[in-house]
Amino acid sequence: MTSKFIERIFIILDEIRYEQTLFSLPLIFVGALFASQFKLKITQVVLIIIAAATARAIGMLVNRLVDISIDRLNPRTKGRHLASGSLKPSQAIFFSILSFIIYISAAYKLGPVPLKLSWIPVLMFIIYPYTKRFTWGCHFFLGLTHALAPLAGWIAVNPRFTLEPFLLYLTSFFWVSGFDIYYATMDYDFDVKYGVHSVPSRFGIKSVPFFTLTLHLLSLISILLFSFFVNASLVFKLSVLIAGLFVIYNDSVFLKHLGTPRINSYLQRNSYFSVIVFIGALLEFFVRK
């Protein structure tokens, strides 16, 4: 009984792809660190991690549940646990509800403003899977949703809406929207055949570099502006410059692999952006100390 329960937990974690938390968690803490003037409390750190982890669980499981019929048809995704039947929809729903309860509890402990705004990401998680059914702008909706992460990190410790967290929001929005368009090229043939909307299926794979490189250039500009508005040191400015240039370099390296499984590697390497920015924020802490 115990072994089956543990096995089920690992299946759920695999379905959620927790390793991809690297896309959001570092930027969440970049927002939290600067918002707190690098005076984060341990309790805040723990609560932010809990909220981020459970929010990801909700978002991924809702996405998998809504897309289960599409995933069963797609050769790339038919092996996913929900699509293949190794994870039952009822189990995914139960874990989603459990995650939601923990998420709301963490938001409550973080303060009244995080609690009042906690419904926004959940609503966007629910809406996102449906966007690919009617608009090629689905990548941008994913960007808008994902970009709530660093904004939430800021608000969790400093519930004032200023230009700085908005610039961090734009950074994440442009970054995620851009790499998701690259990622969608792997499903180009399937999307065209079954009428799934995306930039590649609407404008062709040849249009993808223009969209992605433009978005990632805007992401670099946004994070550089953020570094100036928060009066960051030269160390942090150089860190975000390196991070942004790496993303653009990564785009150019994988140009010849658009539409192939190699784009999975591209996606993983994109997570280095948020990690490099986070390292820059940690170095900023020591500079300011």
- Domain assignment present for residue 8? The answer is no
Tell me the mean pLDDT in the region 104-125: 95
State the virtual CA torsion across 141, 147, 151, 156 in degrees, nearest 10: 90
- Domain assignment present for residue 15? The answer is no
Query: What is the structure's pLDDT at 23?
Result: 72
1 versus 173: which is more confidently predicted?
173
**Pick from 2-11, 85-94, 152-161, 209-218: least confident:** 2-11
- Our CA angle for 260, 264, 269, nearest 5°, is 130
Tell me the mean pLDDT in the region 88-103: 94
Domain count, the chain: 1
Tell me the mean pLDDT in the region 117-141: 96
Query: What is the structure's pLDDT at 94?
Result: 93
* Confidence check: pLDDT of 13 > 90: no
CATH code where residue 52 lies:
1.10.357.140
Cα separations in angstroms, 166 against 25, 126, 151, 175, 226: 17, 23, 7, 14, 9
Tell me the mean pLDDT in the region 209-216: 97
Question: Between 148-157 and 163-184, two packed helices, what is the crossing angle to 10 degrees?
Answer: 150
Q: What confidence tier does 33 reach under pLDDT thresholds 50, 70, 90?
A: very high
**What is the pTM (predicted TM-score) of this model?**
0.94
Exposed, middle or buried by CB within 10 Å (0-12, 13-18, 19+), for 206? exposed
- Domain assignment present for residue 4? The answer is no
- Domain assignment present for residue 17? The answer is no
pLDDT digits (tens, 9 = 90+) for 157-199: 998 889 999 999 999 999 999 999 999 999 999 999 999 999 9
* Confidence check: pLDDT of 1 > 60: no
Query: What is the structure's pLDDT at 6?
Result: 76
| Residue 249 tokens, joined | 């370099």
- Domain assignment present for residue 6? The answer is no
Q: For 50-103, give the secondary structure using H, E and C.
A: HHHHHHHHHHHHHHHHHCHHHHHHCCCCCCCHHHHCCCCHHHHHHHHHHHHHHH
Residue 107 sits in which domain range? 22-288
- Domain assignment present for residue 258? The answer is yes
Query: What is the structure's pLDDT at 22?
Result: 66
| Residue 58 tokens, joined | 């909700």
pLDDT digits (tens, 9 = 90+) for 267-279: 889 989 999 999 9
Instruction: Tell me how far apart the terminal alpha carbons of the chain are, to the nearest angstrom.
Output: 51
- Domain assignment present for residue 205? The answer is yes
| Residue 135 tokens, joined | 């608009």
- Domain assignment present for residue 99? The answer is yes
